[in-house]
């Protein structure tokens, strides 16, 4: 297992390097000038030229790339052109918010999807099955921003029970504070803030995972060993959970892994609607300002997370199905 | 350990945790700094000592000399003071300068207040004023608005509380730009970017914490020379989505929001008697910029004909729901130089057809597109994609133009791409806007002067150049007014711009917010006298 992990880890390096170079060229090829965005429409040609020199934008592209890569290998992601703050600081303040949102969204998605998926497979063609599939269809089709706004209008404006925007204390900090002080306020406040954005973000994944669990379960339930188990007199719930569900998990884990990556990307819209201070909004703002160092740093970081998730999924495969590791 | 023991351990842990949670209390901490924007507003009975504001974007930098975005300005208005402050009708009023005089047209002497300290306790003196303006005009400092201060030749300290500005040439608009925040020399000269993140000013509020992309928290400056603010805490929440921002106002999570807002939301809030909606004339206009170097648009008759195809009333009422009003000339109604007699071009397709015909454009091949010498009358109408109303406006115009024989292609791209095309002169007709026009010089010099920095359409007229120069160097307001009104007549008649809309400025707030006075520039300085009542 250890060699497997180390080997996979080294495979990251060319991937990340490739992504860095690709993003670098894409950013520099699209029209738009950071100097103009920074200095605004009133700027004179001389001012723009001076700023481009300061930012190194007048150097040939290959020199700019060399400088970028040299700094990257030294662990330096550069300084934001607009916010005058090191990119690594910006990432470290925004990434945890997105990760927290994605993790809670995934938990919500799994809590919805696994029971629904299993029930709809076991009770195939029943109203429960149709109901679950109807939910899945709605979840997949509904645009995230629309669902977000509906939830805000329902729970914040009309019922007035949940905040309409923003992030409370980071969930982990709130948890620690609650334990230390014995006051539930911190935890409740933090949860109240995260519940709507996390639900909005998670519901689409929930829909996809529900369908995946259902079809994987349906396939497994037709296997001979299920019939054998049932014939042996094993209790229904044990057959479903131990014999069927565990074997149905492999495709589910794949989709969960992929979905987690999508949650990080999909968080951009959710973050904008709920004013969640995460990395998605940071990237979008940086792209619209042509803040090259921030975009490069964030994309690199997201790529790294994607690669890590893939690694975790591979390890999980090996745990669920030992045959994979042996092979 | 077998599976059963794992389950037992898990079960016991869950039991202990549930018991712990059951034993926890739930009370709101006295100083709740959790960033909660929740709807529980403290103890019932006592009014909340905090005003919550919803902003659309975060500030780029907190250094007033480097800032150019509106949010940074909103911070600056509270944390810093300028030498002057602009009144609601854009006249300079005393700020950090108690009074000023101009012994000759190129000299200004400002007498400063003596009772002012910075938020860190250091006294404010003439040295800080000199330092602020020296850095602003220093090319290496890269101040975005350096060009506004370009007429300043030097700033001298006469004594601790008197400072003398010497100008290269007389400059009338300069005074209006002296509302820029004065920064402390003792911090700024360290050159370590401290002020970009931790502003230290003399203003009514001190910044306490800046959670980037999330919120900016302020606390009242009890020693403020203009009297301590009525409300102790003030928080700007960054809520990028217009609809969410308004929903947050409706849910009571925030107390006040302002432009940019979606016209549909404004209509809904107006119908709700829990809220106050203030509509004032803003300091900006939206216009069609005609590229004078374009082979077809270089013909004045064609430009005039196209201007006659623009139905500003429909754009104002149907797309902007009356939030922005039909425009006439580059002089905005909020300005002292506004001229009601300039009416611009009315929507008149028949007149347009006649003008096209005079210019030699006719539909000779019956394809309902005008042509001349075998060439079709074809133009591209461009704007940026960040503003849905502008996108709708260009689509509406495309339809209107095409219906009247002008084959029109619409091109929308996001701001950096669009603005690069604009500055490079790479457009036919562009729909864009100007903001913050505190002095007519800003509406004229850069946009219309032959050497103007933002004369994207390459408009050039010697008479207009002369009028704009005179407007800049003449100090008498009545004379300046006549120069600008004359220039406005010419650029409107020659369709350098077709001013589509005068931008309105809208603030919407909960009726329990009392004492707030609005300002055409959207200044939040008025929040210092506002408070939340029950």
Chain A contacts of B21, Cβ < 8 Å? 184
pLDDT per residue over A40-94, tens digit each? 777 777 778 888 888 888 889 899 999 989 998 888 998 888 887 899 999 999 9
Q: Give the domain A90-324 fold.
A: MetI-like fold (1.10.3720)
What does the longest C-alpha to C-alpha distance in chain B come to? 96
A84 touches chain B (CB under 8 A): yes
Task: Tell me yes or no: is domain B47-77+203-274+511-533 CATH 3.90.1150.10.
Answer: no
| pLDDT given at position A92 | 92
Query: B99 pLDDT exceeds 80?
Result: yes
The angle, 0 to 180 degrees and rounded to 10, between the axes of the packed helices A279-289 and A87-122 is 130
Q: Where are the domains of chain A?
A: 33-76, 90-324
A166 touches chain B (CB under 8 A): yes
Mean pLDDT lowest among A179-193, A225-239, B33-47, B124-138:
B33-47
Mean pLDDT (chain A) is 87
Question: Six-digit token pair at A198?
Answer: 């996390």
How far apart (Å, rounded) are the C-alpha atoms in residues B451 and B465? 9
Show Cβ contacts of residue A147 under 8 Å, excluding neighbours closer than 6 positions.
A200, A203
| CB-closest option in B24, B147, B415 to A288 | B415
Q: Residue holding tokens 């030992």? A: A322
Burial class (CB in 10 A: 0-12, 13-18, 19+), B341: exposed
Query: B40 pLDDT exceeds 80?
Result: no
| pLDDT given at position B35 | 41
| pLDDT given at position B41 | 45
| pLDDT given at position A263 | 84
Strand partners, B434: B285
Domain with residues B80-189, CATH architecture: Alpha-Beta Complex (3.90)
Residue A266 DSSP one-character state:
H
Distance from CA of B244 to the nearest CA of A (A): 6
Size of interface A-B (CB pairs under 8 A): 185
By residue count, chain A amounts to 327
Report the run of H or E that residue A316 belongs to, with start and end. helix A292-320
| pLDDT given at position B5 | 67
Q: Please answer whether residues A83 and B58 qualify as being in contact, where contact means their C-beta atoms are separated by less than 8 angstroms.
A: no
Distance from CA of A62 to the nearest CA of B (A): 22
Q: What are phi and psi of A62, to 5 degrees?
A: -65, -35
- Closest to B388 (Cα-Cα) out of B241, B507, B490: B241
Q: Residue holding tokens 């800032």? A: B67
The pLDDT > 70 percentage for chain B reads 95
Show Cβ contacts of residue B404 under 8 Å, excluding neighbours closer than 6 positions.
B309, B349, B352, B353
- Closest to A300 (Cα-Cα) out of A269, A279, A272, A285: A279
A233 touches chain B (CB under 8 A): no
Taking only Cα atoms into account, the Rg of chain A, rounded to an integer number of angstroms, comes to 24
- Average the pLDDT over B98-124 and give the result: 95
| CB-closest option in A31, A85, A179 to B417 | A31
pLDDT per residue over B299-347, tens digit each? 999 999 999 999 999 999 999 988 899 999 999 998 889 999 999 999 9
> Which residues of A, range 285-324, sit inside 8 Å of B by Cβ?
285, 288-290
Mean pLDDT lowest among A240-254, B197-211, B454-468:
A240-254
Query: B22 pLDDT exceeds 80?
Result: no
pLDDT per residue over A80-134, tens digit each? 888 878 999 999 999 999 999 999 999 999 999 999 999 999 888 899 899 888 9
Query: Residue B456: closest CA among chain A residues belongs to which residue?
Result: A41
How far apart (Å, rounded) are the C-alpha atoms in residues B205 and B119? 9
Question: Which pLDDT band holds residue B190 (cuts at 50, 70, 90)?
Answer: confident
Question: Which pLDDT band holds residue A311 (cuts at 50, 70, 90)?
Answer: confident
How far apart (Å, rounded) are the C-alpha atoms in residues A3 and A9? 10
Show Cβ contacts of residue B421 under 8 Å, excluding neighbours closer than 6 positions.
A31, B382, B413, B427, B430
Q: How would you classify the pairing of strands B215-220 and B233-238?
A: antiparallel
Say yes or no for a CB contact (<8 Å) between B446 and A272. no
Chain A contacts of B419, Cβ < 8 Å? 32, 36-37, 41
- Average the pLDDT over B512-521 and give the result: 87
Q: Give the domain B283-504 fold.
A: Dipeptide-binding Protein; domain 3 (3.10.105)
Chain A contacts of B453, Cβ < 8 Å? 42-45
Say yes or no for a CB contact (<8 Å) between B247 and A168. no
pLDDT per residue over A221-261, tens digit each? 888 888 888 888 878 787 888 788 888 888 888 888 888 88
| pLDDT given at position B1 | 52
- Closest to B59 (Cα-Cα) out of B184, B227, B181: B181
Chain A contacts of B29, Cβ < 8 Å? 183, 185
- Closest to B524 (Cα-Cα) out of B290, B221, B234, B268: B234
User: Does ipTM exceed 0.95?
Assistant: no
- Average the pLDDT over B373-378 and give the result: 94
Q: Please answer whether residues B512 and B534 qualify as being in contact, where contact means their C-beta atoms are separated by less than 8 angstroms.
A: yes
Say yes or no for a CB contact (<8 Å) between A288 and B239. no
Which part of chain B is CATH 3.40.190.10?
47-77+203-274+511-533
Which part of chain B is CATH 3.10.105.10?
283-504
Which part of chain B is CATH 3.90.76.10?
80-189
pTM of the model: 0.85
């Amino acid at each position: 297992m250890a060699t497997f992990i180390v080997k996979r880890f080294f495979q990251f390096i060319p991937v990340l390097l490739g992504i860095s170079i690709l993003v670098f060229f894409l950013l520099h090829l699209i029209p738009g000038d950071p100097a103009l965005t920074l200095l605004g429409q009133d700027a004179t040609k001389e001012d723009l030229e001076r700023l481009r020199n300061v930012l190194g934008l007048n150097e040939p592209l290959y020199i700019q790339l060399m400088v970028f890569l040299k700094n990257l290998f030294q662990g330096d992601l550069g300084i934001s052109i607009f916010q005058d703050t090191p990119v690594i600081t910006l990432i470290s303040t925004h990434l945890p918010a997105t990760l927290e949102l994605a993790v809670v969204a995934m938990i919500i998605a799994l809590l919805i999807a696994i029971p629904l998926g299993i029930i709809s497979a076991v009770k195939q063609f029943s109203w429960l099955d149709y109901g679950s599939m109807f939910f899945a269809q709605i979840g997949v089709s509904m645009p995230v921003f629309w669902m977000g706004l509906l939830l805000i209008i329902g729970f914040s404006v009309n019922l007035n029970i949940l905040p309409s925007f923003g992030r409370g204390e980071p969930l982990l900090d709130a948890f620690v504070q609650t334990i230390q002080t014995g006051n539930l306020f911190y935890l409740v406040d933090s949860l109240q803030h995260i519940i709507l954005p996390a639900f909005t973000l998670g519901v689409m994944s929930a829909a996809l995972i529900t369908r995946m669990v259902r079809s994987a379960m349906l396939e497994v339930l037709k296997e001979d060993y299920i019939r054998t188990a049932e014939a042996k007199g094993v209790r229904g719930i044990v057959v479903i959970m131990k014999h069927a569900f565990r074997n149905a998990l492999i495709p589910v884990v794949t989709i969960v892994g992929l979905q987690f990556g999508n949650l990080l990307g999909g968080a951009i819209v959710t973050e904008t609607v709920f004013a969640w201070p995460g990395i998605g909004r940071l990237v979008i703002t940086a792209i619209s300002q042509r803040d090259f160092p921030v975009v490069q740093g964030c994309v690199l970081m997201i790529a790294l997370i994607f690669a890590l998730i893939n690694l975790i999924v591979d390890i999980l495969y090996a745990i669920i199905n030992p045959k994979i590791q042996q092979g | 350990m077998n599976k059963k023991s794992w389950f037992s351990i898990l079960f016991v842990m869950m039991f202990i945790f549930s018991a712990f949670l059951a034993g926890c209390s739930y009370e709101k901490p006295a100083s709740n700094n959790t960033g909660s924007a929740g709807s529980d507003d403290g103890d019932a009975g006592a009014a909340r000592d905090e005003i919550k504001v919803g902003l659309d974007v975060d500030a780029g930098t907190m250094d007033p000399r480097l800032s150019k975005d509106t949010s940074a300005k909103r911070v600056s208005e509270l944390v810093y003071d300028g030498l002057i402050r602009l009144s609601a009708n854009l006249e300079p009023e005393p700020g950090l300068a108690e009074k000023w005089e101009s012994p000759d047209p190129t000299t200004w002497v400002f007498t400063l207040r003596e009772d002012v300290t910075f938020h860190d306790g250091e006294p404010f003196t003439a040295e800080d004023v000199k330092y602020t303006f020296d850095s602003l005009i220093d090319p290496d400092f890269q101040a975005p608005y350096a060009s506004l201060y370009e007429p300043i030749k030097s700033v001298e300290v006469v004594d601790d509380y008197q400072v003398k500005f010497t100008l290269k040439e007389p400059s009338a608009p300069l005074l209006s730009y002296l509302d820029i925040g004065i920064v402390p020399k003792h911090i700024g000269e360290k050159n370590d970017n401290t002020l970009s993140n931790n502003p230290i000013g003399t203003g009514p509020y001190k910044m306490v914490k800046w959670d980037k992309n999330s919120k900016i928290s302020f606390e009242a400056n009890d020693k403020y020379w203009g009297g301590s603010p009525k409300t102790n805490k003030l928080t700007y929440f960054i809520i990028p989505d217009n609809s969410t921002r308004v929903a947050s106002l409706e849910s009571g999570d925030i107390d006040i929001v302002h432009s940019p807002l979606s016209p549909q939301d404004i209509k809904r809030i107006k119908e709700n008697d829990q809220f106050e909606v203030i509509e004032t004339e803003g300091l900006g206009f939206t216009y069609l910029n005609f590229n004078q170097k374009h082979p077809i648009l270089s013909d004045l008759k064609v430009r005039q004909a196209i201007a006659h195809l623009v139905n500003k009333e429909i754009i104002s009422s149907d797309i902007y729901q009356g939030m922005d009003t039909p425009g006439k000339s580059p002089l905005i109604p909020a300005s002292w130089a506004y001229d009601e007699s300039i009416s611009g071009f009315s929507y008149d397709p028949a007149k347009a057809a006649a003008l096209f015909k005079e210019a030699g454009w006719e539909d000779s091949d019956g394809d309902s597109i005008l042509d001349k010498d075998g060439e079709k009358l074809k133009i591209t109408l461009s704007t940026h994609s960040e503003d849905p109303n502008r996108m709708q406006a260009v689509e509406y115009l495309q339809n209107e133009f095409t219906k009247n024989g002008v084959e029109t292609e619409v091109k929308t791209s996001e701001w950096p791409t669009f603005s690069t095309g604009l500055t490079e002169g790479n457009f036919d007709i562009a729909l864009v806007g100007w903001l913050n026009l505190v002095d007519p010089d800003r509406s004229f010099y850069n946009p219309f002067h032959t050497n103007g920095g933002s004369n994207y359409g390459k408009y050039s007229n010697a008479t207009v150049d002369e009028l704009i120069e005179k407007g800049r160097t003449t100090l008498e307001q009545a004379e300046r007014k006549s120069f600008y009104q004359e220039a406005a007549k010419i650029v409107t008649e020659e369709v350098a711009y077709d001013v589509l809309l005068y931008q309105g400025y809208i603030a919407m707030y909960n009726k329990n917010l009392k004492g707030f006075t609005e300002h055409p520039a959207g200044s939040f300085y008025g929040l210092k006298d506002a408070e939340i009542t029950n």
